[in-house]
Amino acid sequence: MRSQTAKLNTIFVIVVIGFAYYSARTTSADPPKRATELASNQAAEDVLAEIPAVPFLTLGLISDSAVQTELGLDAKQINGVRTAIAQVDESFWRLRDVPVKNCSTELETLLTNLRRSLKLELNSSQLDRFDQIMLQARSWKATVTPEIANRLKLSSDQVSRIRNLLADVPRQREENERTLAGLPAVDQESARHRLLRAESKRFADVLTAQQQSQLNQLLGKPFDLDRVTKVGCVAPELRDVSAWINSQPLTLLQLRGKVVVVHFWAFGCINCIRNLPHYDSWHEKFAKSGLTVVGIHTPETESERSLDNLKRQVNERKIEYPVAFDASAQNWKAWANDMWPSVYLIDKQGRVRNWWYGELNWKGATGEEFFRKRIEELLDEK
């Protein structure tokens, strides 16, 4: 009994695997005037919801090299997995800001297609191990789903108790943070682990010894989820650009091996204009280190639809990096963009790692500092 509980305490704590679909998605504190209304923030949804949703989590985990190594995939299988991901990647990306309840059917279809493709590439042992890692990442929230609750034969009372514990996690963690803040820095890390183990034990104590044993079998051996790189989809390729300013035509494929900032703007948008000095400073500071900034000008007003007006604005504002004129809004649509300005950070493998909607420093926000640090980190990645 003690060893079973200890194992649960070790590998089944409340965790959130962020990926770009959730924690890497960052917005300004208040939408700028040119913003259309965003879908309701996932962070404000039911605390019991699995975030990221299982389809997004599946895509994020199978995309990760640490998970692929854990599964023992060979080069051929890795290529097959990449092909499977490519078939659904952009569709997942376009749903990133849609509340899950509003796109559940589409997500389930994408998940079904992805799982079907993975079954062609992975053997049964690899699929079983992947399901174990998935369950570890889903954590205790998974136990109250019909799928897992039925397998463990949880009573309605047990499900209710686990749901109550889950609902109490935010309050409990706020209390834990206050406790940690009162400790010397050298003691905080060990204390944090003790508090997480205590949290997990509260959940484990709801289960019988047999249920704990069954859950241990479903979880398999512990996998260090901290090894997972939090990434999003491969950035949609640039398309149907009407004209390029300051550059020959570019593709994101050409820019693989570089860190890329893509920002959507319009020269008549005051919030966009307030962001421009930040992009200029990144270009000036990091271009020689491997950063490429690309501005995508998607017009809204008649004045903004004039290429001559755009060229004049780029010249007057001394913008030196490449600017793509997205006259027909094809890139705006491909990225499922919904706001001027929006800025996206892409790593050397072409994957979206972070994004920000609105002014970077809107009402005291520290978006410019955040992005500058992330650019430095991604430039250092191998």
Mean pLDDT, residues 257-266: 98
Tell me: pLDDT of 2 over 80: no
Q: Tell me, yes or no, whether 216 and 271 share the same domain.
A: no
Q: Find the distance separating the first CA and the last CA of the chain, reported in whole Å.
A: 44
Q: Tell me, yes or no, whether 148 and 257 share the same domain.
A: no
pLDDT attached to residue 24: 39
Mean pLDDT taken over the chain:
88
Q: Tell me, yes or no, whether 202 and 282 share the same domain.
A: no
Cβ atoms 354, 342 nearer than 8 A? no
Position 218 in a domain: yes
pLDDT attached to residue 42: 38
Position 268 in a domain: yes
Q: Tell me, yes or no, whether 193 and 321 share the same domain.
A: no
Mean pLDDT, residues 241-247: 97
Tell me: pLDDT of 318 over 60: yes
Please give the residue range of the domain that contains residue 110: 2-17+52-227
HEC-encoded secondary structure of 274-325? HHHHHHHHHHHHHHHHCEEEEEEECCCCCHHHCHHHHHHHHHHCCCCCCEEE
CA pair distance 333, 348, nearest whole angstrom: 23
Q: Which helix (H) or strand (E) holds 214?
A: helix 209-219
Q: Tell me, yes or no, whether 149 and 8 share the same domain.
A: yes
Position 42 in a domain: no
Mean pLDDT, residues 189-198: 91
pLDDT attached to residue 49: 84
pLDDT bin (cut points 50, 70, 90) of residue 27 is very low
Which strands form 342-346's sheet, in the order they lie side by side? 25-27, 352-357, 342-346, 259-265, 291-297, 323-325, 243-245
The upper half-sphere exposure of residue 164, i.e. CA atoms within 13 Å in the direction of its Cβ, equals 8
Tell me: pLDDT of 20 over 60: no
Q: How many domains does the chain have?
A: 2
Tell me: pLDDT of 319 over 60: yes
Give the global pTM: 0.83
pLDDT attached to residue 6: 40
Per 3-state DSSP, the chain is made up of helix, strand and coil in percentages (nearest 5) of 55, 10, 35
pLDDT attached to residue 230: 79
pLDDT attached to residue 44: 37
Q: Tell me, yes or no, whether 316 and 346 share the same domain.
A: yes
Position 25 in a domain: no
Position 34 in a domain: no
Domain boundary among 227, 259, 287: 227
Q: Tell me, yes or no, whether 160 and 288 share the same domain.
A: no
- The 10s digit of each residue's pLDDT in 34-87 is 333 333 343 334 567 888 899 999 999 999 999 999 999 999 999 999 999 999
Tell me: pLDDT of 28 over 60: no
Domain boundary among 202, 227, 252: 227
pLDDT attached to residue 12: 59
Q: Tell me, yes or no, whether 295 and 223 share the same domain.
A: no
CATH at 307: 3.40.30.10
Residue scoring higher pLDDT (26 or 138): 138
pLDDT attached to residue 168: 92
Position 33 in a domain: no
Q: Tell me, yes or no, whether 260 and 342 share the same domain.
A: yes
Q: Tell me, yes or no, whether 113 and 60 share the same domain.
A: yes
Cβ atoms 62, 131 nearer than 8 A? no
Domain boundary among 162, 196, 227: 227
Q: Tell me, yes or no, whether 132 and 207 share the same domain.
A: yes
Mean pLDDT, residues 257-264: 98
> pLDDT over 90 for what percent of the chain?
81
Position 110 in a domain: yes
Closest CA to 215 of 2, 365, 11: 11
CA pair distance 56, 48, nearest whole angstrom: 17
Closest CA to 258 of 295, 228, 296, 288: 288
Tell me: pLDDT of 5 over 60: no
Position 61 in a domain: yes
> Could you give the residue ranges of the DSSP H alpha helices within 95-155?
100-121, 124-138, 146-152
Q: Tell me, yes or no, whether 69 and 199 share the same domain.
A: yes
pLDDT attached to residue 255: 97
Tell me: pLDDT of 380 over 80: yes
